[in-house]
């Protein structure tokens, strides 16, 4: 079956009791057992360990990513944490994309480093630098591609080969492109991670995360952490995300088309210093973006001439675009990563990896593209 068919039907069946076409919200703490000898005969005992609504979403996401199974978490950061706790112990080393979500950087440098885990932040757009960063105790390579917020891409297949040679797990944060456009497991990765808050939900309604694994052993390791730490997804969130998934492909196609139109407009504007969008021929990794993904997504960034001051003026005056954190929703959002999503990354590190002070990040939504362009035009007139 095709992707659009599976995003609707995978993992769900009509309710056997009533025939309801939507999976019920099983809002329950515990599950009554038929007898001691038949404990777990229906598959559920306590909702920290498993819940039927959450399980339906896990089965759907595993199908869409082509993995053996999926574990859903309370947030995207809980999913990242679950992967790190599953595959790293004290004395181990991990290689992380030097451009990644600020929360990932914070988890590594401010939390897990306190427990004897070592991290190297490498330019994963260069496989040779990843190979050079690998040590004898490297157990995990985590790439975020395209990276937040610079859109830098990493060659998933090449890095997966490096990880395999090192006996390490290669995990890919696939939030920006989703399995509709990019399928890391088919390219050789072991784990695909999502903040389901973003495109899987698509409506600014929930926070959640998901980890899809290639093998049963990997899935068991992640699921053990999910249960042990209690960082689970709630049934209400799972239910809403199940509904969001049904329109993923059509949302992604339209949002990406809007993003391309906006990127081309900005690239031609005399007040714009630079634009970064993988769909543009001017994007330095355009060939890689075309080679490992079937679409370019709806995220881009640009810099206004005049730097930080001009960028702030634009963001404070633009209409229709909402100044907010998050991305992937049907509403278009505008964000200043330096003061918002990546504020916890040290200034020197931000500058080193290209998160410049004047960077304006756009998450393009489903509004009419011309309306979004007109709003940017009016704001640029005030700069």
**Residues that are catalytic:** 48, 101, 173, 198
Distance CA 251, CA 298 (A): 10
Distance CA 127, CA 129 (A): 5
Q: How many CB atoms lie within 10 A of CB 373?
A: 17
Angle at 136 between CA 131 and CA 141, to 5 degrees: 50
Tracing tokens 């505008």 back to the chain, one arrives at 334
Task: Give alpha helix (H) positions in the chain.
Answer: 3-9, 52-65, 76-87, 102-106, 127-133, 156-166, 178-181, 216-229, 235-245, 248-267, 286-292, 307-317, 347-353, 369-381
Question: For the chain, what percentages of helix, strand and coil (3-state, to nearest 5) are there?
Answer: 40, 15, 45
For residue 149, whether the previous peptide bond is cis, meaning omega lies within 30 degrees of 0, is: yes
β-pair type (169-173, 299-304): unpaired
CA-wise closest residue to 199 among 146, 241, 239: 241
β-pair type (359-363, 69-73): unpaired
Q: Please state the φ and ψ torsions of residue 319, each to the nearest 5 degrees.
A: -100, 165
């Amino acid at each position: 079956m095709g992707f659009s068919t599976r995003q609707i039907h995978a993992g769900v069946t009509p309710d056997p009791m009533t025939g309801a076409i939507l999976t019920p919200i099983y809002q329950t703490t515990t599950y009554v057992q038929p007898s001691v000898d038949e404990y777990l005969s229906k598959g559920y005992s306590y909702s920290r360990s498993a819940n039927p609504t959450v399980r339906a979403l896990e089965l759907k996401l595993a199908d869409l990513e082509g993995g053996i199974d999926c574990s859903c978490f309370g947030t995207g950061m809980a999913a990242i944490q679950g992967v790190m706790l599953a595959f790293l112990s004290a004395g181990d080393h991990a290689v992380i994309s030097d451009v990644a979500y600020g929360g990932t950087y914070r988890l590594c440098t401010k939390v897990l480093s306190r427990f004897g885990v070592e991290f190297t932040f490498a330019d994963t757009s260069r496989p040779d630098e990843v190979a050079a960063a690998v040590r004898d105790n490297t157990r995990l390579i985590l790439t975020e591609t395209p990276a937040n917020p610079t859109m830098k891409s990493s060659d998933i297949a090449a890095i997966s080969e490096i990880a395999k040679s090192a006996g390490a797990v290669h995990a890919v944060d696939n939030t920006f492109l989703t399995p509709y456009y990019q399928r890391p497991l088919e390219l050789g990765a072991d784990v695909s991670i999502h903040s389901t808050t973003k495109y899987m939900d698509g409506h600014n309604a929930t926070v959640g995360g998901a980890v899809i694994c290639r093998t049963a052993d990997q899935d068991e390791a992640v699921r053990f952490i999910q249960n042990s730490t209690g960082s689970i997804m709630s049934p209400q969130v799972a239910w809403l995300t199940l509904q969001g998934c049904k329109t993923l492909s059509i949302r992604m196609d339209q949002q990406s088309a809007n993003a391309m139109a906006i990127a081309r407009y900005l690239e031609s504007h005399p007040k714009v210093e630079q634009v970064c969008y993988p769909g543009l021929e001017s994007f330095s990794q355009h060939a890689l973006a075309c080679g490992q993904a079937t679409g370019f997504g709806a995220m881009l960034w640009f810099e206004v001439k005049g730097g930080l001051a001009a960028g702030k003026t634009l963001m404070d005056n633009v209409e229709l675009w909402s100044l907010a954190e998050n991305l992937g929703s049907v509403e278009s959002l505008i964000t200043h990563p330096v003061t918002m999503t990546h504020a916890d990354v040290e200034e020197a590190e931000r500058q080193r990896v290209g998160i410049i002070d004047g960077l304006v990040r756009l998450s393009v939504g489903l509004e009419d593209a011309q309306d979004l362009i007109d709003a940017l035009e009016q704001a640029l007139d005030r700069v």
